Structure 1
Amino acid sequence: MIASRTRSRAENSGGLSRRDLLRAALVGAGGVALGGTLAGCATPNAASSGRTSVMIWDLFSGGDGALMQEMVSVVAAANPEIAVESTTLAWGPPYYTKLAMASSGGRPPEAAIMHMSRLAGYAPGGLLEPFDLDALSALGVGEEHFAPAVWEKAQFDGQLYALPLDTHPYIAFHNPTIIQEAGLATADGKLDLDAVAGADNFLAAGRALADVTGETGVGWGYQRDPAGCWRMFWGLYSQNGGGYELTPGRPAELDEEAAAEVFEFLQAMVDGTVAAKNQDGNAASARFMSQRTGMMFAGEWDLPMFRDALPDVGATQFPAIFDTPANYADSHAFVLPRQAQPDPAAREATYRVLAGLLKEGLTWASAGHIPAYQPIVEEPAYQELTPQRDYAPAAEVAVFDPDAWFTGGGSDFQTRMADAMTDTLAGQAPPRTAVTRMLSEMDRFLALPNPA
């Protein structure tokens, strides 16, 4: 273990001073200025019609945005006494900055979408309000309706601060024809997860796939993709039993042996045969879609793109390379930004709208996301969705980003972690170099005061 030291934390004054607003900006984006375009749909003249207005912010564009608007329309039609307003902002640091500023100012939307990996940067500072479990239960939403790993991540200090909409894991896509020719398919044509379990078996499977394609076996684009690098490492590190300790003011702690073993495996995988050397995400995707690799590591959100090129594309949860099944994932979740003057009618209406959106999860699943509300996954209609049903078990072994104010989707933390891995993944430095550099970068974050 690394020797630790302590330092005092800055106290939270609790007021809404100019300093609070600046801190909110730091929580959202490390000081990045507000930006991004706004788009959305709204029910006009809510005030004049006497209906209760519920505003929801989200960060969904493209196909996801269209699906969310479809879901909002259905819920709004089922609740004519509620004027549901949906606003889409550009995802990334600007979104989280704007949300933090609105919460600190006490005039935010009634609800907003947040990656659950960012929850640790918001809930501790009072930027969010916890959900009332009794109110949710009355609407048919409770702990029993969510995968334990997802429900646990939604908690802070013993209270529910996020209502999960989905789980979106980092998974293994595959070409059914190629895995069949390589002898890696089950009787029903799916990827045989037992055949790719364990580092040695996986590398052998990658070489068998390469024999079929004549190029490489597995697609993984790690160059210029900080999120992809981090997702791969953290998922494998969790499979290898690695723990962590990220305490402000103290040196970061990782299981250095477990982390080094992960990089030993990744170096062996990126050998030019199992997986291509020096490849970025676009090149890896192009190889997979042109059938020059048989397997591809990517987020389930890439399903629509892959399906356009390979209509019968398959997918499974992440293979168990190490001893403990684990699958890196994040989750889109609804949160309740802090209101300076809470409106009981608006809050009651908000719960009804959010519960309704969860129950429209079958629509959301069409884009590839795993509905967090498990009754949707259990429906016969969902079980007919392929390959969604095949990787749905990933939610049961989901592992999320470490809990710290600076981690999470779209964060500078992921970029810095990927930079620390670069030389090792390129074969220019030994595995322990990446571990040492990652710890050093973690220490830099832990030396900063928590803006919340």
Structure 2
Amino acid sequence: MRNRSPRPTADGSPPTTGMSRRSLFGAGALTAAGLSLTGCSSPLAAGLLGSQLDPETVVYWNLFGGGDGVRMQDMQSGYRDLYGPESLQATTLAWGNPYYSKLTLATVGNQPPDVAVAHLTRAKPLWAGGLLDPITEDDLAGVGLSSADFNQQAWATQVTDGQNIAIPLDTHPFTLFYNKEVCEQAGLLDSDGLLVDLTGKDAFESALEEISAVTGGLALSVANVSETSTPWRFFWTLYNQLESATPFLSEDGAVLSVDEASFVEVMTVVQEWVEKGWLNSNLDYATSQTTMFTGQAGFYLQGEWEIATAQSIEGLDFGMAEIPQLFDKPAVQADSHTFILPRKDRSPEQRTLAMQFIKEMLEQSLIWAEGGHIPSYMPTFESAEYQALEPQRHYAGAADHAVYDDPAWYGGSGSTFEDTVGAQLGLVQQGALTPERAFAAIRSQLEIYTSTPSPL
């Protein structure tokens, strides 16, 4: 096993106290959260209740299931191969709010993991609640990293209050999938079998018209039934391509600052595409995929993580591309999985251990990229192996103009904000609401959150 050299504790770490009011709440709330903590041999119990662990063991929490979960397990195995089978205690918890609730409770209870995963958009409220340790330049340098090693859009977005709060593993953008058979018949593929340039609203709408002529109906499928995140990603992508776009939320979620005219402009376009028969009015997540996979539509918009699903369909010839710039500037909704250091008392050795674990995960991020995510670690991104990945390399540039959700205690991926706003956007696509009525409903429904201080 490798030897780890200790370093001084990083300056600027927030002070920790004994049993504060926050900690007392956290300790009492663990049972209320419904966590099963029986037996000190449980990894979750060890992380929450502080059972004795080898000081050389990293306690790590993540929220990855499905294909992402399998790849993360492979990366964890790579770490154990280097440092020994007892070097890592990894726990996977349920995606979304359940994960963040448990991470919050463990931290306020003063028993968090050493390292955890967080969406960048969810790391921001954790930081605002005093639940994260900052990551200094010395922390990075101590394991051979620097800010220059990362995609600068993701890196700049994680910087909050002048401090590094997270280390990006990836960027995962909203992406255009296309059925090559349909697009070839529509005359939309170049000599290499790739989608032609569709920059500009006129060019994109012409493509939708050509595809519709091939399919006899839909050109583009976007999930909007029993699904709220996809309508939000769809809107946030197009909205941020407008020069007139303003933040949807400001002052950490206390102010609704979205530009109403731009909101209406985007959702009017969406409504027009439905009326012309180019875009579906009612499709759930699974059916929106099937529609493109089976050639009933040529285009499908979803997160790049669905690459694994597309690759599993026998006989499907598909491609992927960045969502074209339809309006004034390139932009695409995205988030990043990041590594965070939950707030806790750390010795210099423990801090080095946590950072070394993160570094080893970054070194294995080609495994992660095979599942569709764009690596934020530039040595991986620039490697010949990544640049040869198909179709990943054709949408990799989206990371440079990724637009993240605005910081808010109730916001981020899989959040109350996305559920609230996405539901109204989906109703516009279904034809049940006008853009103006949807905007009014969003304003009304978000008022309780904008007027409520963060509970963290």
TM-score past 0.5 threshold: yes
1:212 matched to which residue of 2?
214
Change (3 A) 1:34 1:141: farther
Q: Which of the numbers 243, 247, 264 marks the counterpart of 2:246?
A: 243
CA contact (8 A) 1:253 1:439 kept: no
1:304 aligns with 2:308: yes
Q: Does 1:343 align with 2:347?
A: yes
Instruction: Say whether residues 1:99 and 2:103 are aligned partners.
Output: yes
How far does residue 243 in structure 1 lie from its aligned partner after superposition? 0.9
The residue correspondences of 1:47-62 to structure 2 (distance < 5 A) are 52-62=56-66
Hey, what does 1:354 align to over in structure 2?
358
> Contact conserved, 1:209 with 1:293, CA < 8 A, in 2?
yes
Match of 1:326 in 2: 331
Matched, 1:383 2:381: no
1:350/1:437 Cα in 2 relative to 1: closer, same or farther (>3 Å)? same
The offset of 1:259, in angstroms, is: 1.1
- 2:253–2:407 Cα contact (<8 Å) kept: no
Offset of 1:248 from its aligned partner? Answer: 6.4
Aligned to 2:12: none
Structure 1 residue 274 displacement after superposition: 0.9
2:7 aligns to what? none
Structure-1-length-normalised TM-score: 0.88
- Say which is worse superposed, 243-252 or 375-384, in terms of deviation: 243-252
User: Which amino acid is the alignment partner of residue 137 of structure 1?
Assistant: A
SS, match of residue 341 in structure 2: strand
**Contact (CA 8 Å) 2:281, 2:431: kept in 1 or not?**
no
Q: Post-superposition shift, 1:188?
A: 1.5
Distance 1:18 1:190, change over 3 A: same
- CA-to-partner distance for each residue in 1:66-94, whole Å, 9 max, x for gaps? 11111111122223497122111111211
Q: Give runs of aligned pairs for residues 37-436 of structure 1, distance below 5 A.
A: 52-80=56-84, 83-192=87-196, 194-195=197-198, 197-241=199-243, 242-244=245-247, 245-247=249-251, 251-271=255-275, 273-309=277-313, 311-339=316-344, 341-436=345-440
1:34–1:94 contact (8 Å) kept in structure 2: no
Q: Residue type matched to 1:229 in 2?
A: P
Aligned-partner Cα distance in 2 for 1:357–1:318: 29
* CA RMSD, 1 decimal: 2.8
Provide Cα deviations, 1:367-396, integer angstroms capped at 9, x if missing partner.
Answer: 111111021111111111111111111100
In the other structure, the counterpart of 1:6 is none
Which whole-Å CA distance do the structure 2 matches of 1:15 and 1:450 have between them?
A: 23
In the aligned structure 2, how far is the partner of 1:124 from the partner of 1:49? Answer: 30
> For 1:77-124, what per-residue CA distance to the aligned partner results, in whole angstroms no more than 9, with x for missing partners?
223497122111111211111100111111111000001111221101
**Residue 270 (structure 1) shift:** 2.0
In structure 2, the CA distance between the partners of 1:25 and 1:226, relative to structure 1 (3 Å rule), is farther
Structure 2 stretches lacking a partner, 5+ long: 1-15
CA displacement at 1:440 relative to structure 2: 2.7
Displacement after TM superposition at 1:23 (Å)? 7.8
CA offset digits 1:277-316 (Å, max 9, x no partner) = 2222221111111111111001111111111125532101
Percentage of pairs with the same residue: 34
**Partners in 2 of 1:128 and 1:326 — Cα distance?**
29
**TM-score after normalising by structure 2:** 0.87
Q: Relative to 1, partners in 2 of residues 1:119 and 1:32: Cα closer, same or farther, differing over 3 Å?
A: farther
CA distance in 2 between counterparts of 1:74 and 1:209 reads 45
Indicate if the aligned counterparts of 1:326 and 1:398 stay in contact, CA closer than 8 A.
Answer: yes
How many residue pairs end up in the alignment?
A: 429
8 A Cα contact 1:36 1:94, kept in partner: no
Matches of 1:134 and 1:433, distance apart in 2: 51
- Farther-moved stretch of structure 1 (401-410 vs 306-315): 306-315
| Residues 25, 305 of structure 1: alpha-carbon distance in 2 compared, 3 angstrom cutoff | farther
Q: Which runs of 5+ in 1 are unaligned?
A: 1-12
Contact 2:142-2:352 within 8 A present in 1 as well: no
SS in 2 for 1:129: coil
For 2:28 and 2:193, the matched residues in 1 are separated by 50
Deviation at 1:422, TM superposition (A): 4.0
Sort the Cα spacing of 1:384 and 1:236 in 2 relative to 1 into closer, same or farther, 3 A. same
Q: Secondary structure at the match of 2:240?
A: helix
Further displaced range: 241-250 or 153-162: 241-250
Select between 270-279 and 226-235 the one with higher mean Cα deviation: 270-279
Q: Is the 8 A contact 1:248 1:449 kept in 2?
A: no
- Structure 2 residue identity aligned to 1:181: Q
Q: 1:20 to 1:436 in 2, by over 3 A?
A: farther
Q: In the superposition, relative to structure 1, how do residues 399 and 303 fare at CA in structure 2: closer, same or farther (>3 Å)?
A: same
Q: Which residue of 2 aligns with 1:439?
A: 443
